[in-house]
Amino acid sequence: MTPAQRIQAMAAFQAYNAMETTKKRHLDLMLAIDKRAKKFNLTATDAEVDMLNRLLKDHDEQVEQFKLESDTLKSVNPEAHLAMFKYVGEIHGMLDAFVQDESTH
Q: What percent of the chain has pLDDT over 70?
A: 95
Choice among 34-48, 69-83, 91-105 with the minimum mean pLDDT: 91-105
Total-model pTM: 0.88
As a whole number of angstroms, the distance between CA 92 and CA 19 comes to 14
Q: What is the pLDDT of residues 19-50, one digit of tens each?
A: 999 999 999 999 999 999 999 999 999 999 99
Q: How far is CA 64 from CA 44, 59, 71, 86, in A?
A: 28, 9, 11, 20
Structural domains for the chain: 3-104 (1.20.58)
Mean pLDDT computed over every residue of the chain = 95
